[in-house]
Amino acid sequence: MQRISIDPITRLEGHGKIEIFLDEEGEVANTYFQIPELRGFERFCVGRPVEEMPLLTNRICGVCPEAHHMAAAKAADAVYHVDPPRPAKLLRELLYSAFFFADHTTHFYALAGPDFIVGPDAPVAERNILGVIHKVGLETGGKVIQARKFGHLVVEMIGGRKVHPCTSVPGGLTKGITEEQRQQIEQMGRWAIEFARFSLQAFNDIVLGNQAYVDLILGDLYTHQTYSIGLVNEKNQVNFYDGKVSVVAPDGERIGKYAPNEYMDWIAERVEPWTYLKFPYLKKIGWKGFVDGKDSGVYMATPLSRLNAADGMSTPLAQEEYERFYSTLGGKPVHQRLAIHWARLIELLYAAERWVELATDPEITSDHVRIVPSEKPTEGVGIVEAPRGTLTHHYWTDERGILTKVNLIVGTTNNYAAIQMSTRKAAQSLIHRGQVTEGLLNRIEMAFRAYDPCFGCATHTLPGQMPLEVTIRDARGEMIETIRQFC
Amino acid sequence: MSEKPKFAMYWAASCGGCEIAVLNVHEKILDIDANFEIVFWPVAMDAKVKDVEAMPDQSILITLFNGGMRNKENEEMAHLLRRKSQILVAFGSCACEGCIPGLANLSSAQSLFETVYHTPSTENPQGLYPQPQTSMQEGELFIPAFNPVLKTLDQVVAVDYYMPGCPPESHQIAAVIDLLVAVLQGKASLPARGATIGVGMSTVCDECPRTRNVKKIKQFVRIQEMTTIDPQLCLLEQGLPCNGPATRSGCSALCPKASAPCIGCYGPAEGVIDYGARLITAFSSVIDSKDPQEIDRILDGIPDPAGQFYRFSLAKSLLRAGKAAWKVE
């Protein structure tokens, strides 16, 4: 007898769970994407000194600690009303560019690559990084490892550690870099640009050169009309470290840009009792449920949304790719979720170009990397783009700089409602009359993998490595099938 | 086909940094692969709890377990893997001593929910909180129940070895892999059960290249208040509360080398029972005063004693949790 209640196995594996309910006809009535964990940083950071936040919030996510480190450092600068010296900002952004490069590389080759390079319908046993290397050659595998190594090396040189950097403090950094380090960083950055171009070429040849893949990308299955958000500089070009958040409607109209300290006018979060993670949405538009369209406050914060929300890229090669992207896909904005993978590679190239740009700035080796705050600490917001979406840290302190309140809206969380919708749509399109096949699983996975979800930020799962369990129930709530896979 | 000993790695309530640290051993991963059959490692392979449940008890030679015990599901996984493993290693700070998420033990679970689900950007007029069971129109939905306090792995099941660090440094992980391989080949023997592995036997200060002049201080300072940070001199002697004296060696003093204080992620040094108590002793010994009032004033320079002394180790400390956390609502 398949009693619904919770299968102990389900709970044991529940890093992320999709529940699918079928109606009398065996059609999908609804789906729920549940996040089963909470740690509570917003509570236990209260009482801590604000300068520790770049270290404490690193531990929200060991995959993207650099993002939390930077958002926390910028929020702490704002709390002290201090603007770090230019060399400090350059160094932080340099670290951040190298981090983005390593992170996007991992996602494209190890996590998303198998779907495209090996193929979405290839046997499960081949749909992994080894399958990718088999297809593109061992030499490329070596390059991927090298790309990750280089990224981490730069993070360590500037941030002091490979995982959980420690050098950003209110007002700047604890240390600078030497000319010898700068030269190494520049050299690695030049290699990174070539690697990014190579990756775009590979995407071009393997994915865009294959009509079946192009159809998959452009098909309705993976399309949602939502708002797009992303950080832009004063010229409305994509920036990962600093700027204002641009908000673009499903029809492409920019409805506004907000500075970090204005985020609460724009973003609100909703609580549902069946999951530990909250659902952010655009406050000005309002929550209308898990639905598409201009009247629904659901938005996405991904590489694709960053491109949609911006007018272009600030570096030349990435700008060329940006133009090619929109001319190929029929103009802005692009709503096909699988195009996130292509957008990610354009960001990969931008990250590498920006890395070299910063490493060759005459001020990058300056010792002037910190100023001592002179004003009383009060309140401040820091925003950066995490690889998986806009990351917001908001702190309130007493006059000694001890935290009295903390608010965090993390990268992947932004996309929770959109991921919910994408997986539901995939299930609705693929399950009919109670028929479930193994191929369904990967198609549903592809729906959320595009977002590169990192519930490490809310729970503890590597980007795209969401261990997935799908439970199918009939109209009476009886479990008729469970499919599981750790992708 | 394979008669190789079985290896598993699992994450409970953690950040994923331990997995990244293991992946950062690069080619050493191949040594694991060559010498072990990896039977369960959610981050790296298609693994199923059902398969683990089907294995005979004690059939996994070694399991590296990271993450703290934050909810019922975490505890169930700990019990399962304990039963199936001959050697269970508490891997990383969360499993060993609770890490940063253990600071949640200073408040009640209720206040944690009240904070998280009522932040200034959260619109929650009905006061909804996540529930272990929710009735939806279509049926029941379940999520694991939240524990009142975060526990360490050894507060739930017996642990054979401890490997601290947030995360453990990759060169230490590589050294432990080498040791395991040597044990399998009969060239080395396992350390005594209960030992801390992949670490040094001293303190971070002993690994730190900074100069110590046994100088005493008249005040503690906060890092953003320092006009300069001397790159050669001991940070504690510059007045910065650096946790090096109480913290176990093993990381090669990464943070102090980058002019940032040690924050204690490798846990208590060998033989230290309570991390905070040892650190208080160490700080007391550098205070340059015998006047109780002046000593009080100097100690006031540490703005967050609970965090300073138990940042990573609260859940494992003699305190374990603040009074609030034990209060049943």
pLDDT tens by residue, B6-45: 999 998 888 888 988 887 887 677 778 788 888 888 766 6
Q: Please identify which residue in the block is written with the tokens 């694709």.
A: A304
Domain segments of chain A as ranges: 8-39+414-486, 83-223+338-372, 224-335
Q: Answer whether the bond into residue A165 is a cis peptide, omega within 30°.
A: no
Contact between residue A377 and residue A49 where contact means Cβ atoms under 8 Å apart: no
What average pLDDT does the segment B161-172 reach? 96
How many Cβ pairs closer than 8 A exist between chain A and B?
Answer: 268
Which residue from B minimizes the CA distance to A21? Answer: B138
SS3 A36: coil
The answer to whether A460 contacts B11, with C-beta atoms less than 8 Å apart, is yes
Query: Which among A34, A65, A268 has the least Cβ separation from residue B123?
Result: A268
3-state secondary structure chain B: CCCCCEEEEEECECCCHHHHHHHCCCCHHHHHHHHCEEEECCCCCCCCHHHHHHCCCCCEEEEEEECEEEEHHHHHHHHHHHHHEEEEEEEHHHHHHCCHHHHHHHCCHHHHHHHHCCCCCEECCCCCCCCCEEEECCEEEECCCEEEEEECHHHCCCCCEEECCCCCCHHHHHHHHHHHHHHHCCCCCCCCCCCECCCCCCEHHHHCCCECCCCCECCCCCHHHCCCCCCCECCHHHCCCCCHHHEECCCCCHHHHCCCCCCCCCCECCCCCCHHHHHHHHHHHHECCCCHHHHHHHHCCCCCHHHHHHCCCHHHCCCCCCHHHHCCC
| pLDDT of the residue at A332 | 95
Write out chain A residues lying below 8 Å of B143, CB-based: 14, 34-36, 274-276
Q: In percent, how much of chain B has pLDDT > 70? A: 96
| Cβ separation A163–B138 shorter than 8 A | no
pTM value is 0.93
Determine the 3-state secondary structure of A274 from DSSP.
Answer: coil
CATH classification (class only), A83-223+338-372: mainly alpha
* Cβ atoms within 10 Å of A75's Cβ, excluding its own: 28
Any B CB within 8 A of A163 CB:
yes
Ranking B33-42, B53-62, B124-133, B228-237 by mean pLDDT, the lowest is B33-42
pLDDT beyond 80 at B191: yes
Residue B189 to chain A, least CA–CA distance (Å): 31
Portion 44-63 of B in contact with A at CB < 8 A: 45-50, 53
Q: Which of residues 97-136 of B touch A (CB under 8 A)?
A: 99-101, 103-104, 106-107, 111-112, 115-117, 119-124, 128-131, 133-134, 136
Determine the pLDDT at residue B172: 95
- Give the count of alpha carbons within 13 A of A229, CB side only: 33
Interchain proximity A62–B77, CB inside 8 Å: no
| Min Cα separation A296/chain B (Å) | 16
| Cβ–Cβ gap A473/B138 under 8 Å | yes
Considering CB atoms only, which of B26, B73, B107 is closest to A145? Answer: B26
Q: Which two tokens stand for residue B253?
A: 């003093």
| Pick from A36, A42, A169: CB nearest B73 | A36
CA of A456 to nearest chain B CA: how many angstroms apart? Answer: 5
Could B21 and A163 be called an inter-chain contact, meaning their C-beta atoms sit closer than 8 Å? yes
Position B40 scores a pLDDT of 83
pLDDT at B109 over 80: yes
pLDDT value, residue B2: 52
- Among the partner-chain residues A6, A21, A461, the one whose CB lies closest to the CB of B138 is A21
Rounded to an integer, what distance in angstroms lies between the CA atom of residue A9 and that of residue B122? 32
CA B285 to chain centre: 27
Interface of B with A in 242-301 (CB under 8 A): 254-255, 257-260, 263, 265
HSE-up of B136 (CA within 13 Å, CB side)? 21
**pLDDT score of A446:** 74
Domain boundaries, chain B: 6-98+152-184, 109-147, 204-316
Give me the mean pLDDT over the B96-123 stretch. Answer: 95
**Nearest one of A344, A293, A323, A308 to A450, comparing CA atoms:** A344
Distance (Å, rounded) from C-alpha B229 to C-alpha A364? 19
pLDDT in the model for residue A408: 95
A68 touches chain B (CB under 8 A): no
Q: Which of residues 6-35 of A touch B (CB under 8 A)?
A: 6, 8-15, 19, 21, 29-30, 32, 34-35
How far apart, in Å, are the Cα atoms of B243 and each of A306, A350, A463, B59?
Answer: 41, 39, 33, 40
User: In the Cβ-directed half-sphere of A379, how many Cα atoms lie within 13 Å?
Assistant: 9
Q: Does domain B6-98+152-184 have CATH number 3.30.530.20?
A: no
pLDDT at position A232 is: 98
From the centroid of its chain, how far is CA B244? 16
Q: What is the sign of the dihedral through the CA atoms of A134, A135, A139 and A141?
A: negative
Cis before B167? omega within 30: yes
Predicted confidence at residue A466, as pLDDT, reads: 43
**Predicted pLDDT at B34:** 82
What ipTM did this prediction achieve?
0.95
Residues of A in contact with B301 (CB under 8 A): none
Q: Does A373 contact B at CB distance below 8 Å?
A: yes
Interval B260-274 mean pLDDT = 95
Give chain B's mean pLDDT: 91
Beta strand A254-258 with A244-248 is: antiparallel
Q: Which of residues 133-192 of B touch A (CB under 8 A)?
A: 133-134, 136-144, 146, 166-167, 170
Banded pLDDT at B85 (limits 50, 70, 90):
very high
Question: What percent of chain B shows pLDDT beyond 90?
Answer: 76
Closest Cα of chain B to A171: distance in Å? 7
Residue contact B17–A164, C-beta within 8 A:
yes
- The B residues from 5 to 24 touching A (CB cutoff 8 Å) are 11-21, 24
| pLDDT at B190 (0 to 100) | 94
pLDDT over 60 (residue B235): yes
Q: What is the pLDDT along chain A (487 residues), one digit of tens a residue?
A: 222 222 222 222 336 677 888 888 888 888 888 888 888 999 999 999 999 999 999 999 888 899 999 999 999 999 999 999 999 999 999 999 999 999 999 878 877 777 777 776 666 556 666 667 677 777 777 888 889 889 999 999 999 999 999 999 999 999 999 999 999 999 999 999 999 999 999 889 888 888 888 888 888 888 999 999 999 999 999 999 999 999 999 999 999 999 999 999 999 999 999 999 999 999 999 999 999 999 999 999 999 999 999 999 999 999 999 999 999 999 999 999 889 989 999 999 999 999 999 999 999 999 999 999 999 999 999 999 999 899 999 999 999 999 999 999 987 789 999 988 988 888 888 888 877 666 666 677 677 777 765 544 433 333 333 445 566 666 666 666 665 543 3
Interface test with A, best of B28, B38, B49 (most A CBs within 10 A): B49
Q: Which of B80, B100, B141 sits opposite A32 (nearest CB)?
A: B141
Q: Which residues in chain A are contacts of B123 at CB distance < 8 A?
A: 268-270, 283, 287
Q: Which two tokens stand for residue B33?
A: 């692969």
- With CB atoms and an 8 Å threshold, state whether B143 touches A373: no
CA dist A194 and A184 (Å) reads 16
